[in-house]
Structure 1
C-alpha cells in the first residue's frame, strides 16, 4: 500500500462494496421460501433451515466481532463473500435437506463475518487520510442508502426473474429437464447472486487497500474468544437500559422471523402460483425496505414529539406490534379489503422497527464505552438472531392461520411495554461505565498503537 486513499475514493469503494455484498442477499429474499417449498420441504423443515442460519450467525457473532481487527478487513470480507457464494450455490441447486440446511448455515456464517469490516475499513481509511476528526457521516449515510437500494433492487429482480421465465413457452419446464431438476425458475436468482458474489470477492481483494498488520497467533485468538463472549453477555446484567435494548432486539427478531417465514406462502396463496407469489412478495419486501427507511428518517422527529428516546422506542415498537396484529387478524379472511389491511400491517411493522432502531442504538451508545461498542452491537445482533431462530421453530410447529402472526405481535407488544416506565437511563454515563472488549481490541492494543474499531 503506497498511501491512504483520499476521502472520495474511499467513499466510492465503500459504497460499491455495500452494493455488491447486499445485492445477492436481496436476490434471494423473494424466491427463497418458495424455492424450498418447491423442493418439497415442509414448513417445519424450512423453519429448521432458518434456525440453522440464525443459530450459526449467533454462535459466530461475538467470536468474529474482532477478527477483522486482527487479520484485516479485506481478508474477513473476502471470506464472507466466499461463504455466501457457497451458500447460494447449495441453496440454488440442492435438493436434499442436509444440503439445504448446510447452505443456510454457511449463509449465517457469512452474515456473522460481514458484520462491520466494510464500515471499519472506510473509517480506518478516511482517518488515515484526514485525521481522527475526519467527517464520516456522509460516507456512512451513503453506504446505508446503497445497502437499502441494493436490497430493494435485488428483491424486485429476484421476484421478477422466476415469473419472467415462466412466461416463455415452457421455458421453466425445459430448464428443469435440461438440468435434471437441479435448476428451477426459482433457482435462477440464487445462481445470479452467486455470480455477483464472485465479483464481490474479486473487488474486495483488489480495491480495499490496507496496511499490513502485525502477526498474531491463532491459539491466542482462540483463547480470547471465551472471555470476549462472557464479557459481552454480561452487558445486559450490568445495566437495565442495555437489558431493555437487548430484549427489544430479540422481539424485533421474532417479528422479522414471522415476516420472513409466513409472508411468501401467504403471497403465493393469494396469487395462486409460486412464481407470481414471488413477484408479490418482492413488491411487499421492497415496500418494506422503503417503510423502514422512512421510519429511520423520522426517528429524530419521533423522539422530539415523544419527549425522549425511550418513549420513541416504545412508540416504534407499538406501531410494529399493531402491524403484526393486523396481519394476524386478517390471516383467516380472504378478499380485497383483508388484503389491503394486511399490506398496511406489513408496512407498519417495518415503519415502526425503522423508527425504533436509531433511538435504541443512540441509548445503547450512551451506556457503553467506546472500547466495547463493537461487542455491544454484536450482543444486540446475537439477541435478535437467537430469538428469531426460536420463534421460527415455534411458528413452524403452529397450525397455519392467525396464531403465528399473533405470537410475533405479542413479542413486540411485550417489548413496547418494557419502555412504559421511564427511568433515569437517558443520562449520558461516564465513558468507562459499561465496558466490554472485542478480541481485536485486546490483541491490537498489544501489537500496535491506537484503539481498535
Structure 2
C-alpha cells in the first residue's frame, strides 16, 4: 500500500469513531442520570486539557517521533472509549473527557506531519494540497458516515443486555482498536538523526522543540498571518456549531423540532464538507493555493450570512450546508500554506500553535456571540460572526506574495 492510501486509511479509522459518537455524546450521560449542566461541565474539561497540552504534545511529536506519539494517542483513545461505554457518574464522565483531551492533544498533528515529511522526502516538489484535500474528503465522509450509521444502529440494532445508546460506542471502540493496529502496521518514518528516541530523553527535549517552533513562527510574517487566521476562524465557528440550532429552533417553534432536523443535517453537512475538500485541486490549479484560501474566507462569511438571514428553515439549512462546503474546502489549503513554511523538525509544534489559537478564540466567540444573540437577535450574532470570518481574508496576503516568489523546496 502506497503512502497516500495508508494516510487515507488511517484518517478514516481515526475519524469514523468521532462520527459514530457525535449523535449520542450528550444523550448518553443524560440517560445515565447526569443533568445537562453536569454534562456540559464534564465536556468542558476536554477543551482545558487540549489547551494545556497542545504545545507540549506537539513538541513531543517533533522530539520523540510521529509513530510513537500516534501509538500513544490511539492507546489513550481506546481507554477513553472503553470507559465511556460503562461510565455512569459525573466523575467517570469527567475522566472520559480528560482522557479525550489528552488524546486530542497527542493526536493533533503527528499523522499529517508524518504524511507531509515522507511526501517531501520522496519528492520535494510534491503538491501537498492534493493529498491534504483528499484527506479532508475522507474526514468528512468518515464523520458523516459514522453519524448516519449511529442513526441506523440506534433505530434497528438490539443487543441483549446492552443499552441502545451504548451500541455506537462499542462500534466506535472496535474501530479505535483497528486504528491502533493500523498505526503500528502502516506508519513508518525515517530513523531519527540522533538514533533511537527514548521517551524520557524526548520529554526533556520538549521545551527546546517548543521554543524552536515559537521562534520559527515569530520570524515568519507568513506564519504569523496564518496563525492569526485561526483566531477569526475559531471565533466565527460558533455561528454554525452553536447558533445554527438556536436559529432553527426559532423558526420551527421548539428545541425538539430543531434537534430532529439538526442531527441528519449535521451528517449531511460533513458529507458536503468532504465534497468541498475534493474540489480543492481544481481550484488551486487555476488560481493558486493562497488566493484560493483568501477567496474561501470571504465565501465562508457570505455563506454564514445566508444562514443568518435567509428566510425559513430551508433557507437556514441551505446556508448551513453552504457553510460546511466552504469549511471543508478551507482546511486543506490553509494547512498546505502552513506546511510550506516549516521543516520536519518543527512541523508538529507549529501545527499545534496554529491549532491552539482556535481554543481561546472559540471561547471568546462563545461568550460574545451568545451574549449578543441574547441582547439583540440570533441573526445579528450570526452576521457578526460571519464578518469576523471574512476579515481573515487579508491575512492571506503575505502567503499570496510568498507563493508568487520562486521557492526553494523545504
* Shorter-chain TM-score above 0.5: yes
Shift of residue 423, structure 1, vs aligned partner? 5.3
The answer on 1:225 being equivalent to 2:176 is: no
> What is the match of residue 84 of structure 1?
77
Residues 195-274 of structure 1 correspond to what in structure 2 (within 5 A)?
195-208=174-187, 214-216=195-197, 218-233=199-214, 237-261=218-242
> What is the match of residue 416 of structure 1?
390
The answer on 1:351 being equivalent to 2:343 is: no
> What is the match of residue 442 of structure 1?
none
Shift of residue 233, structure 1, vs aligned partner? 4.2
| Higher Cα radius of gyration | 1
CA contact (8 A) 1:232 1:375 kept: yes
> What is the match of residue 151 of structure 2?
159
Residues 2-41 of structure 1 correspond to what in structure 2 (within 5 A)?
8-39=1-32
Distance (Å, rounded) in 1 between the aligned partners of 2:74 and 2:97: 14
Residues 26-425 of structure 1 correspond to what in structure 2 (within 5 A)?
26-39=19-32, 45-121=38-114, 131=122, 143-164=135-156, 183=163, 185-208=164-187, 214-216=195-197, 218-233=199-214, 237-261=218-242, 280-299=261-280, 312-329=292-309, 338-368=312-342, 371-392=345-366, 407=381, 409-420=383-394
Distance (Å, rounded) in 2 between the aligned partners of 1:97 and 1:240: 45
Shift of residue 219, structure 1, vs aligned partner? 4.9
Shift of residue 201, structure 1, vs aligned partner? 2.0
Q: State the number of aligned residues.
A: 403
Q: Secondary structure at the match of 1:226?
A: helix
CA contact (8 A) 1:51 1:390 kept: no
CA contact (8 A) 1:159 1:279 kept: no
Q: Secondary structure at the match of 2:321?
A: helix
Moved more, 392-401 or 42-51: 392-401
CA contact (8 A) 1:317 1:413 kept: no
Shift of residue 22, structure 1, vs aligned partner? 1.5
Distance (Å, rounded) in 2 between the aligned partners of 1:51 and 1:236: 29
Shift of residue 340, structure 1, vs aligned partner? 0.7
CA contact (8 A) 2:243 2:382 kept: no
Distance (Å, rounded) in 2 between the aligned partners of 1:46 and 1:404: 24
Shift of residue 157, structure 1, vs aligned partner? 0.8
Distance (Å, rounded) in 1 between the aligned partners of 2:94 and 2:378: 22
Shift of residue 110, structure 1, vs aligned partner? 1.4
Alpha-carbon distance change, 88 to 145 in structure 1, aligned in 2, over 3 angstroms = same
Shift of residue 317, structure 1, vs aligned partner? 2.7
Shift of residue 416, structure 1, vs aligned partner? 2.0
More helix by share: 2
Alpha-carbon distance change, 414 to 117 in structure 1, aligned in 2, over 3 angstroms = closer
Give TM-score scaled by structure 1 length.
0.70
> What is the match of residue 439 of structure 1?
none
Alpha-carbon distance change, 104 to 254 in structure 1, aligned in 2, over 3 angstroms = farther
Give TM-score scaled by structure 2 length.
0.76
Q: Can you list the C-alpha shifts for 1:111-164, whole angstroms capped at 9, x where unaligned?
A: 222234444555677788xx5569686766655443333222112112332233
Distance (Å, rounded) in 2 between the aligned partners of 1:309 and 1:134: 14
CA contact (8 A) 1:291 1:347 kept: yes
Q: Secondary structure at the match of 1:196?
A: helix
Shift of residue 108, structure 1, vs aligned partner? 2.3
Shift of residue 24, structure 1, vs aligned partner? 0.7
Shift of residue 415, structure 1, vs aligned partner? 4.1
Q: Unaligned regions of 5+ residues in structure 2, if any?
A: none
Moved more, 291-300 or 371-380: 291-300
Q: Unaligned regions of 5+ residues in structure 1, if any?
A: 1-7, 166-170, 331-336, 433-450
Shift of residue 195, structure 1, vs aligned partner? 2.3
Q: Secondary structure at the match of 2:58?
A: coil
